[in-house]
Structures are given as structure tokens and as C-alpha cells.
Amino acid sequence: MAHIPDPHLSDPMVPVLARVTNRVEEIPGVVTFEINAPQWQGFAPGQFNMLSLFGVGEIPISISGPSFDSTTIIHTIRDVGAVSGAMATLEPGAMLGMRGPYGTAWPVEQARGRDVVVVAGGLGLAPVRPILYHLITNRANFGRVTLLYGARSPDEILFRNELSKWRAQLDMSVEVTVDHADATWRGHVGVVTTLFKGADFDPAKTTAFVCGPEIMMRFGANALTDAGVAPEDIHLSMERNMQCAIGLCGHCQIGPFFVCKDGPVFNWAQMKPLMAIKEL
């Protein structure tokens, strides 16, 4: 199994001061930051950091850059509220608190020699991007690679340039759909599960990674099991409100699991029974 880094901190609850070194507005309200932090030694795809702004608050954010770059930390943040909104305004040079990396990783190496299907919806493309970098860099180790991505509208497609580049690479299949569009859009329109019909993979030898809003992951995982992929081979990244991020406070609990410590990456065999319980 691949090594999953622990927090690079002497005290996992005390953030270090990190500096924003670059900022790119991907689409309105979504910003990708490059950050430099002392003591950082890299992460595994799927892990997250706790980012904080003093006097505003602290939030969990997945790492969206390549895991082979152990010096730069990349985060893609959508402005949805107080903390993320304040973070989205940061400019290069700004300082923020950071602790991490935390959580389990996408089991990318378990997919060696198998077909890989990555299903992402909306901002869910950010937490799976490290998987795609890994697959592309180690392309020969995997069977057919398929990315199925759903966005709300053409204006809200994330990482558009990279999607085009990956599609042009010819050794992976990249399909994009939007929920609705105007007449200028020539691509696919419909929910992300409608892309499964044209996808080419051997369900018995497929590992799938699914990330997006919880309902989308539920329908995506069900569509994959309908196609014959085993629940244990379908992995998803869960989101819950977090505070400690080290399994102490219980804020992020889903059934018997703490999302911060036992997750955020779980397989569908673990999550399906829990997602069926409405109150969780």
C-alpha cells in the first residue's frame, strides 16, 4: 500500500503559517492557490489540509495539485460562506494558517493493471485531480482510463484547459457533460450518469473514483454497480463539517466512522448502508 503521510507538524492541532504564492481564478467564485508552508513534505492524493484565517475560521480543503510535487501545495476553493469566501479573496503574499495533511488517500495503486473510471461533479474535480496527474504520469501501469465530468453549465466547467489537454492525449477518454446550456454549446447535456453509456471499461477489472455532491456520488456509485463494478472497487470522498481533523471531537462522524481520520476516502461497500440513513 502507498505511504499516507501524517501531518508534518509537531502538534497536529497547531497550524503553521503558510504563504500564498500564486492565485488563479478558475471560474467566478472558484480560486486555485499555490501555497508554501514550512515543514511540508508532500501528501497522498485524496488527503486534505485544514486552512485557517485568523479571526474568521478554519475549514477542510482537499489538495488539488500533483502528489509528486512535494514542495508546492495546491488548493482549489469555492466561495460558499464566511471562511471560504474570505479565503477566495487572498492575493499572493497573503498568509494563512495551515495544518495537515489529514485523512486517507485514494487507493490509486490498487488500480494498477486495471481500468480506471473517475467520475467527478462540479468542484469534485479538484479532489480527484491528483489521481489524474498520477494516472497520466504512470500511464503504462493502468488499463483504460476514463474521466466522466459533470458541471452545472459550460461557464462552470473547472480546469477547462487541462480537460482539453487530457482529451487531446488520446490515451485516455475524457467526457464532459453539463446540466444545461445555451445554443452555443456543442457538447453533451445531461446528468453525469448519462455519460456511462458510452464509457468503455471492463466492470470486473475496474477501479472507480467518484467525487462530487453526495447525491451525485450516490447515483454515480449506483450506476457503476449497475454496470457490474464491485462496491469495494468504488471509492468516494465524503464531506462533513470538521473541527479537530484528528478524530477527537466527533464533528465529522458518519455512523461508526470519523470522516477526518477513517476517511475522507471510503469505498461504496462502507458508505452505501450509511448513505441510506437520512439523518446521517
Partner 1 sequence: MSVKGLEKIVAAHSLFAGLGGGFLELVAGCARNVRFEAGQYLFHEGEIASEIYLIREGSVALEISAPGQGCMTFMSAGPDDVVGLSWIVPPYHWTFDTRAQEDTRAISLDAICLRTKCDADPALGYEVMKRFAPTIVARLHSTRLQLLDLYGTHS
Ligand X SMILES: Cc1cc2nc3c(=O)[nH]c(=O)nc-3n(C[C@H](O)[C@H](O)[C@H](O)COP(=O)(O)OP(=O)(O)OC[C@H]3O[C@@H](n4cnc5c(N)ncnc54)[C@H](O)[C@@H]3O)c2cc1C
Angle at 129 between CA 127 and CA 134, to 5 degrees: 125
Mark the segment that binds ligand X (CB under 6 A) among 15-23, 91-99, 186-194, 234-242: 234-242
| Min CB(265)–partner 1 separation in Å | 20
| Min CB(254)–ligand X separation in Å | 11
142 binds ligand FES (CB under 6 A): no
State CA 197 to chain mean position distance. 23
Q: Compute how many residues bind partner 1; rule: CB under 8 A.
A: 32
Q: Using the rule CB under 6 A, which residue among 242, 254, 265, 271 binds ligand FES?
A: 242
| Block residue for cell numbers 471560474 | 27
Please state, as a whole number, how many other Cβ atoms lie within 10 Å of the Cβ of residue 46: 27
127 binds ligand X (CB under 6 A): yes
* Binder of residue 251, out of ligand FES, partner 1, ligand X, none (CB less than 5 to 8 A by kind): ligand FES
Asked if the bond preceding 5 is cis, omega within 30° of 0, the reply is no
Residues 65-104 that bind ligand X (CB under 6 A): 76-78, 80-85
Q: Which three cell numbers stand for residue 194?
A: 448519462
DSSP secondary structure string, 182-213?
-TT--SEES-GGGGGGG----GGGEEEEEESS
Q: Using the rule CB under 8 A, which residue among 101, 103, 150, 263 binds partner 1?
A: 150
Question: Would you say 48 and 71 are in contact if contact means Cβ atoms under 8 Å apart?
Answer: no
Residues 236-275 that bind ligand X (CB under 6 A): 239-240, 242, 264
Please state, as a whole number, how many other Cβ atoms lie within 10 Å of the Cβ of residue 202: 12
* Binder of residue 33, out of ligand FES, partner 1, ligand X, none (CB less than 5 to 8 A by kind): none
13 binds ligand FES (CB under 6 A): no
Q: What is the Cα gyration radius of the chain? A: 18
Mark the segment that binds partner 1 (CB under 8 A) among 6-14, 162-170, 190-198, 267-275: 190-198
Question: Would you say 147 and 132 are in contact if contact means Cβ atoms under 8 Å apart?
Answer: yes
209 binds ligand X (CB under 6 A): no
Question: Would you say 34 and 77 are in contact if contact means Cβ atoms under 8 Å apart?
Answer: no
| Min CB(139)–partner 1 separation in Å | 27
215: buried, middle or exposed (CB in 10 Å: 19+, 13-18, 0-12)? Answer: exposed
Mark the segment that binds ligand FES (CB under 6 A) among 4-12, 40-48, 224-232, 237-245: 237-245
For ligand X, the closer CB: 63 or 147:
63
- The Cα–Cα gap between 154 and 185 comes to 7
Residues in contact with ligand X by CB under 6 A are 48, 57, 59-62, 76-78, 80-85, 123, 126-127, 239-240, 242, 264
Residues in contact with ligand FES by CB under 6 A are 242-245, 247-252, 258, 260
